[in-house]
């Protein structure tokens, strides 16, 4: 009995031990579970915080994008795409676009790209149908609508295919104003739908500048072609690029090829020291006496000119690219008549024979140049001028003007009146008898005062 009692006590004790162990294990598991729960809860809290931060960041980013969208100076449009691959109504439009086009946001959201875009095509004039049908307002309207839709659909297809597209178009403002723009179209995915965002840059200033540039070039081209002076342009390699008719006529050349052969840079009539400066690309001016008969015999050129010709050539360097010239601009003036007049006057002065005379036209030499030629070398001359209606007389003694008469005027006032003449003929002859002086100013003083009065009169 004692043994049985002891066995029962042992079993009860052992069962208690096992129960305690189980309780401890359960407690430990509960503690571990609680720790895991706390960790999960902590992670959940952290995740919630991160989600909230992302939400705030998203709001901030959206706010930034909205600020950029609304405050950029360029026009921005976002439109959907119809089933027919045409631009749908505008979904978003920024303030710059509304302001430029003159529409409210509500108005423009009811419109499509085709309604604000100028058609960039011409209506064909061929085809069948009578003239009333072809040119009726209804026909033209339908044609414009169809062509505009086809053009817009083609561009949408390009954007969908390549992701973006850059093109130039013209937008129509509410008041009818046309705005040339450069459009950059991009494909975007928004909330699972494909849309197109258009950024339009106003090119009005560029177009105006381009128009001004073209007009300026046109004026320059007109001046170049119509200038009475000989003008020629060369590239950096000194190859002839362009020459006007006046330049060819001065040399008697039939075409540009002959001027290229003659070569203003290296022809035998250019002074030797000038050739070296031209080779170095310097800007120079030189006078050349061309013997055209010799030039033809030497196969230098083909020309209709005979004998000798005197020319002043101004060759200007148009700047450098690195160490090489960009090009050259040549201005040529034929002074042959002036030089021949000088030669005639010299011979006239030397002979002293009043029966001999030298004659010319104010179309060939202006009065200021004529007076400097006649007065050079202390000559004694009498100059008679006529414009077909009026006659005038100038007397030179020792290279200075002492008397002038033009109509009812005499003295300096008569000379100033003559300086306004643009046309007329003159005759010069040697003079040995002189009238009473009516002019006491120097030639330079007379020319300067005459130029001032002429400028003020114009």
CB atoms within 10 A of CB 273: 10
pLDDT for the residue numbered 121:
42
Per-residue pLDDT, 143: 47
* Domain assignment of residue 69, yes or no: no
Looking at the fold, whether 157 and 169 belong to one and the same domain comes out as yes
- Per the structure, the count of domains in the chain is 3
Q: Is 367 contained in some domain?
A: yes
Domain boundary pick from 279, 304, 334:
334
Give the domain range for residue 433.
337-457
Angle at 167 between CA 166 and CA 171, to 5 degrees: 125
Q: What is the CATH number of the domain that holds 170?
A: 3.30.450.20
Would you say residue 67 lies in a domain?
A: no
185 shares its domain with 141: yes
Where does 235-271 have alpha helices with state H?
A: 245-251, 256-262
Q: pLDDT digit of tens for each residue in the chain (458 aa)? A: 565 555 566 556 666 666 667 767 766 777 777 777 667 666 665 665 565 555 555 454 455 555 555 667 788 898 888 888 888 898 888 888 898 899 998 998 899 888 888 865 433 434 444 434 444 555 445 545 555 677 788 888 888 888 888 888 899 998 888 989 898 988 888 777 888 888 888 888 877 777 777 887 788 788 888 888 899 999 988 899 999 999 999 999 999 999 999 998 888 998 888 888 888 888 999 999 999 999 999 999 999 999 999 999 999 988 887 778 888 999 999 988 888 887 877 776 666 555 567 788 887 777 888 888 888 778 888 889 998 888 999 999 988 999 999 988 999 999 998 888 888 888 888 888 899 999 999 988 888 888 888 877 65
Phi-psi region of 93 (alpha: psi -120 to 50; beta: other; left: phi over 0): beta
Taking the C-alpha atoms of residue 267 and residue 290, their distance in angstroms, rounded to an integer, is 10
Q: How many CB atoms lie within 10 A of CB 244?
A: 20
- Verify that 232 and 324 share a domain, yes or no: yes
Q: For residue 377, is it within any domain?
A: yes
| Lookup: tokens for 166 | 């850059």
Same domain, 91 and 191: yes
Write down the pLDDT at residue 314: 92
Say how far apart CA 68 and CA 27 lie, in whole Å: 60
């Amino acid at each position: 009995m004692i043994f049985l009692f002891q066995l029962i006590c042992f079993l009860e004790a052992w069962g208690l031990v096992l129960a305690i162990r189980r309780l401890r294990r359960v407690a430990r598991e509960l503690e571990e579970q609680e720790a895991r729960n706390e960790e999960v809860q902590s992670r959940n809290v952290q995740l919630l915080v991160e989600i909230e931060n992302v939400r705030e960041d998203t709001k901030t980013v959206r706010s930034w994008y909205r600020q950029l969208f609304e405050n950029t100076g360029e026009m921005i449009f976002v439109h959907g795409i119809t089933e027919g691959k045409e631009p749908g109504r505008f979904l978003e439009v920024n303030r710059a676009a509304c302001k430029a086009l003159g529409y409210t946001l509500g108005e423009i959201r009811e419109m499509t790209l085709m309604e604000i875009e100028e058609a960039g095509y011409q209506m064909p004039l061929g085809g069948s149908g009578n003239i009333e049908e072809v040119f009726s307002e209804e026909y033209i309207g339908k044609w414009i609508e169809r062509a505009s839709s086809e053009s817009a659909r083609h561009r949408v297809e390009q954007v969908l295919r390549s992701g973006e597209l850059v093109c130039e178009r013209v937008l129509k403002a509410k008041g009818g104003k046309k705005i040339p723009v450069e459009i950059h179209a991009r494909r975007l995915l928004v909330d699972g739908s494909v849309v197109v965002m258009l950024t339009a840059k106003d090119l009005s200033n560029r177009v105006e500048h381009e128009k001004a540039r073209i007009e300026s070039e046109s004026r320059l081209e007109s001046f170049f072609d119509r200038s009475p002076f000989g003008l020629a342009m060369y590239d950096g390699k000194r190859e002839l690029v362009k020459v006007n008719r006046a330049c060819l006529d001065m040399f008697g050349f039939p075409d540009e090829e002959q001027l290229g052969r003659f070569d203003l840079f290296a022809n035998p009539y250019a002074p030797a020291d000038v050739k070296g400066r031209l080779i170095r690309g310097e800007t120079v001016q030189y006078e050349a006496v061309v013997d055209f008969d010799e030039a033809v015999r030497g196969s230098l050129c083909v020309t209709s000119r005979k004998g000798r010709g005197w020319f002043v050539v101004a060759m200007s360097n148009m700047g450098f690219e690195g160490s090489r010239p960009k090009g050259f601009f040549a201005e040529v003036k034929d002074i042959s008549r002036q030089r021949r007049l000088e030669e005639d006057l010299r011979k006239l002065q030397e002979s002293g024979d009043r029966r001999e005379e030298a004659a010319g036209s104010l179309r060939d030499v202006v009065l200021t140049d004529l007076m400097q030629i006649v007065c050079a070398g202390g000559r004694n001359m009498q100059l008679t001028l006529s414009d077909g209606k009026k006659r005038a007389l100038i007397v030179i003694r020792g290279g200075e003007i002492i008397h002038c008469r033009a109509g009812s005027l005499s003295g300096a006032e008569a000379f100033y009146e003559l300086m306004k003449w643009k046309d007329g003929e003159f005759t010069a002859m040697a003079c040995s008898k002189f009238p009473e002086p009516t002019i006491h100013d120097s030639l330079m003083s007379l020319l300067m005062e005459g130029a001032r009065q002429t400028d003020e009169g114009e």
